[in-house]
Chain A
Amino acid sequence: MAYVLPRSYPLREITALIRHSGFFFFVLMNKIVRKRQLSDAVFRMEIEAPLIAEERKPGQFIILQVEHDFGERIPLTIADADLQAGTISLIFQTVGATTKKLAALNEGDFIADLVGPLGLPTHLEKVGTVVCVGGGIGVAPLHPIVQGLKEAGNKVIVIMGARNKDLVILEDEMRALADEIILCSDDGSVGRKALVTEPLKELCESAEKPDLVVAVGPPIMMKFCALTTKPYEVHTIVSLNTIMVDGTGMCGGCRVTVGGETKFVCVDGPEFDGHLVDFDNMMKRLASYKDIEHKASHTCKTEELLKRGGKS
């Protein structure tokens, strides 16, 4: 029988286990098997997590900690998984203390603590034409959703937005999946010089009005995507990334107001009807700790979370 132990187990506990349980062999978990830098501040890691790879579904996330005792728990969406290799893919931007420490790890290193898959999976069914909007790092969590929507038999148009061409991620992967790709950048260095809401509005006005829109990215982008589709009454799903501690419904730090009701992003979400989400309150809540300067990083938490945008 194999005992799988996270790297964070103190040695004395491991030796105690060996002493008391005989000749079991140990496999350490959460090993980084591959690391790539996708852009200046964006990294992709393949991590050994066989149980999560087996159970995860599009839309779900994990929570990780780089240090066992004093680390912070941060949620990251699972960008992909390889069932055979028993790995999951995480794509993240280095914006705060924890993501910077994570980026400093290399292939062969272990992530102290990693738990998942968390949250409700995306509801996937054939609805017809779906427009998927991904902003910045939000393209990463969008990837498995596009995969799932295609598998369910939908026509999928992907709008990808980034500040400039260096920050575009997963373009090839998305081209391989989607029926159509519309690239936008703030400075026009790649694709159209436009905000993602421009092509979204055009599509809503076109003959081929989408049956569903899925938007994942910075809160402000999701807010305006929802505002864009509202007059056309196109059902719009957004994936929220709020402050979380446990990720299992225990703390309520992630709560948002949806249609006048309080919902927990970790267990009721992370996906909600974008037309019902109170984005202004959510953005204020993301700024809860903006006054607290962090010794580990001079980027303040708020900026980190706001910049982090989609779950990554």
Chain B
Amino acid sequence: MSHTPLVQLEAAAKAQLEQILAKGPLKPKDRTAIPQQEMPSQDALDRRGNMHQVALGYTPEQARVEAMRCLQCKNAPCIAGCPVNIDIPRFIARIAEGDYRGGIDVIKETSVLPAVCGRVCPQETQCQAVCTVGKVLKDVDLSVSIGRLERFVADWEREQGASELPEILASTGKKVAVIGSGPASITVAADVRRAGHEVTVFEAFHKPGGVLLYGIPEFRLPKQIVQQEIDTLRAMGVEIRTNFVVGRTRKIHDLMQKDGYDAVFIGTGAGLPRFMNMEGENLVGVFSANEYLTRSNLMRAYDLDRADTPIYSSRKVAVLGGGNVAMDAARTALRLGAEEVHLVYRRSRTEMPARVEEVQHAEEEGVMFHFLTNPVQILGDEDARVASMECLRYELGEPDASGRRRPIPIEGSNFKMDVDTVIVAIGNNSNPLIGQTTPGLELNKRGNIVVDESGKTSLEGVYAGGDIVLGAATVILAMGEGRKAAAAMNEYLSR
């Protein structure tokens, strides 16, 4: 795909906007005829060499034109498609009018992290998957760009400087501990604090933000945005304690019995990397995506001049997996100077769980995709460093339990891939620490915490949400869970 520079997109949108405004009231046919606004981005060749944000965000004119594509349908299928049910047509209508404040206010009625979700939500499988415009144009990629519009108003608000603090009710004297500081925990901390309870967030790392900080790279989600969300919590009076591992530094029972916390929310995420259990996986040069990304993102190893934390220097990298984390790892490896990055996925392109935009960006940047391919073993040299990877080709069979067509190995199709680094991004299991140190907390056989529909665990006053309950999922689902649990906690504390 050729790259259109920002100035050109901006000029085109200005002209389109003038034309539309001159024309008067729009009929549905006029709306669907408006061309979808392309997201301005850094040129692929430039961005391979830096960590800066790839997608630059709509200009105001682009946002208004894109917003005018929305049909404002009565049944609004997009709202049901959103895990937190944002009133999408209403916020888009505000943007179309140029009322950005009104737009962001609508979103904030239901979402606490619009600048984050606008960037990392898989919109094409949620709100945009069911958009009527996409249906009319018979192409889901041509649905109204809801995510980009969400990002636009969230960024607009941040750029205004003074984002308004939500109202906080009078102090109830109740204390709530929130374990973890990722999306589920941020949501709970905000919602519970708003009800007037005292909130402490406990984070194991030295910086809060969870996966938003250690997992998602700067080029996709600038850390300054995460910092701002955390600053907002602090400004609301939420206490954040870093370097605190609940289960080790203090156990949940002690927090409740010795330290006087009346309720606890567990939002510790899915932080235990899964490996393939194949030969050679412990060779030097094999990393979990978690480790690779944490070194680069949280420990800032990409800043070779300043960071004390080293990161592996690679020439040819294989990334295993087809999700967003795999895309992040592959694109990080490119930025760290790898000559070749191969993404190896055992299913085909259509089954990839990654966001379409990330896959597209990765391809533009030069990541090479190997579909229907899976490694059998990793081979090392005499220093036990990765020398190559043996793979097997697959074909698609009948649909499996996940509804996706099951990949079947083609016998004798083995081949070797010449690589010096392998990054495993095939998902995470839940971290067992809380379960091991909290007697009475019910877990399922996969190690996830068992909760009822309100997010309550088997222990009185203890709630959980996000990936520790769902297994590895998305930011927006974690946030949705958090909202539900926070409501239940507020209700529990008011009794």
Contacts and interface: CB of A to CB of B under 8 A. Distances in A.
B416 interface: no
Interface stretch (B114-122, B124-132, B308-316): B308-316
Interface in B404-456: 431-433
B155 interface: no
B46 interface: no
Nearest to B250: A51
For chain B, which range describes its interface: under 10, 10 to 19, 20 to 34, or 35 or more residues? 35 or more
Interface SS of B by simple majority: loop
Given A284-B384, A288-B312, A6 B243 contact: yes
Contacts, number: 142
B284 A285 contact: yes
A293 to B, nearest CB: 10
Interface in A241-276: 245-246, 248-253, 255-257, 262, 267
A263 to B, nearest CB: 10
B431 A248 contact: yes
Interface stretch (A63-71, A144-152, A156-164, A194-202): A63-71
A172 to B, nearest CB: 31
Interface stretch (A13-21, A35-43, A216-224, A232-240): A13-21
A115 B271 contact: no
A113 B206 CA distance: 6
Contacts of A72: 299, 307-310
B204 interface: yes
Interface residues of A, number: 56
Interface in A46-83: 51-52, 55, 65, 67-73
Most chain-B CB neighbours within 10 Å: which of A70, A112, A116, A278? Answer: A70
Contact of B234 (A20, A278, A281): A20
Contact of A262 (B282, B291, B300): B282
Contacts of B283: 281, 284
Contacts of A288: 284-285, 312
Interface of A: 3-4, 6, 8, 13, 16-17, 20-21, 51-52, 55, 65, 67-73, 97-98, 112-118, 245-246, 248-253, 255-257, 262, 267, 278, 280-281, 284-285, 287-289, 291-292, 294-296, 301
Given A245-B299, A249-B431, 8 more contacts: A13-B234, A17-B234, A55-B248, A72-B310, A73-B309, A252-B275, A262-B275, A294-B310
Interface of B: 204-206, 214, 231, 234-237, 239, 241-245, 248-250, 271-273, 275, 277, 281-285, 287-288, 290-291, 294-295, 299-300, 303, 305-310, 312-313, 383-385, 431-433
26 contacts: A16-B231, A16-B234, A51-B249, A68-B206, A72-B299, A72-B309, A72-B310, A97-B308, A115-B206, A115-B245, A116-B248, A245-B291, A245-B299, A246-B204, A248-B271, A248-B431, A248-B433, A249-B432, A252-B291, A253-B287, A255-B282, A262-B281, A284-B383, A285-B284, A289-B312, A294-B310
